[in-house]
Amino acid sequence: MARHASLAEQLQGVLAYKNRPDGPVEPVQTNWTTAAANDNNPEDLAGMRIERRWSIRPTPEEIDKEVKDGEVERGAASTMGLVVDGQAKTVDVPGPIVAIGKLRFSDGSQTERAHVMGIDGQVIMADVRMPIGALLGTRDRQERALGGDVITSNSAYTLVYRGKHPGKVKRKKREDLEDREITSREEDIAILAAAKANTASMPAVTKCPDGFPWKPSNLRELFLGLEKTPTGESGSVEWRDITSHLAERAVWAASIAAITQQDKAALDAALTASSLSEVGVAVGQSRQYADKRSGGRRALIAANDNLMAAIKKISA
């Protein structure tokens, strides 16, 4: 137990003075701990891994597009000898398909790097001959770890605010933008005035309902306070934190103004003093009086009580 435990319990004003609401506004912190309990069983984690996005190229959609619209290209034709009814015949055989659009296929002479089993039973990299008709240049590998992407993270805001899915927003084609006639502001005013003069009755004005700006297209970017960063803090300080901080700062400033300069000196000295006698010396007492007569103790308790009384009076 601390030597001055009973005194520390009385000095709530000194603690409030130490933690006074100064400096920038800090968001409310959570009491959730990020320290691992470290009670995981290694056997339970065996074979587990982080789920990652799997990349296979070309995709089935890309293959369908090339097969539908791509031009077929064949390799060199060859001849084949056959025996029909006891008679030898030579038949022309068309060359193998080596390309369909952007897709490339093997004619039997290409090789690609691949993992194979070596003589000693170890997996090694080697040049493997691709059979006729094999698709060349394919890719099958892991990409980044799966997590919140643009579409998934934005879905909650899209649902609540009835927005459009980012993948379903119709955008203007480039050729439509290039066909537009570029005019100056003065020309636009003249065209609008001429249109009004030639119009007998102006159409009714339609007022569009309130909405969000077009850019950014992801609604979640408009609500940074609801987003979480890798450190677990929100993107911006909540308005309740700001208002409460401003209210506390106003109450604190009024409370400090209500106490005397001697009380302020005692509170300031208590933050760095190593003994109660140093508090007494800071308010003008002699070293002997502050130490032997408990002058520093009495000065600190008086400053604490005056500060608490001022806070209660102004906060009421």
Interval 55-72: pLDDT, tens: 788 888 899 999 999 999
Mean pLDDT across 95-108:
91
Residue 148 has pLDDT above 50, yes or no: no
Whole-angstrom distance, CA of residue 202 vs CA of residue 199: 6
pLDDT exceeds cutoff 50 at 1: no
Top-confidence residue, 192 or 45: 192
The residues, ordered by sequence, that sit 6+ positions from 154 with a Cβ below 8 Å of its Cβ are: 166, 218, 219, 220
Backbone dihedral region of 295: left (phi > 0), alpha (psi from -120 to 50 degrees) or beta? alpha
Contacts of 109 (CB under 8 A, 6+ apart): 129
Average pLDDT, the chain: 76
Return the SS3 of 177.
helix
DSSP element (H, E) containing 155: helix 150-160
Q: Is residue 106's pLDDT more than 80?
A: yes
pLDDT at 178: 59
Alpha helices in 19-85 (DSSP H): 42-45, 60-69
Spatial distance between the Cα atoms of 169 and 157, rounded to a whole number of angstroms:
15
**pTM recorded for the entire structure:** 0.35
- 288 vs 28, higher pLDDT: 288
Cβ atoms 182, 188 nearer than 8 A: no
Helix (H, G, I), strand (E, B) or coil at 271: helix
Of 104, 44, 55, residue with least CA distance to 75 = 104
CA dist list (Å): 309 to 18, 113, 259, 297: 17, 82, 9, 18
Q: Is the pLDDT of residue 260 over 90?
A: no
Name the range with the highest mean pLDDT among 13-17, 130-134, 144-148, 226-230: 130-134
Among the ranges given (130-144, 229-243, 247-261, 285-299), the one the predictor scored with the smallest mean pLDDT: 229-243
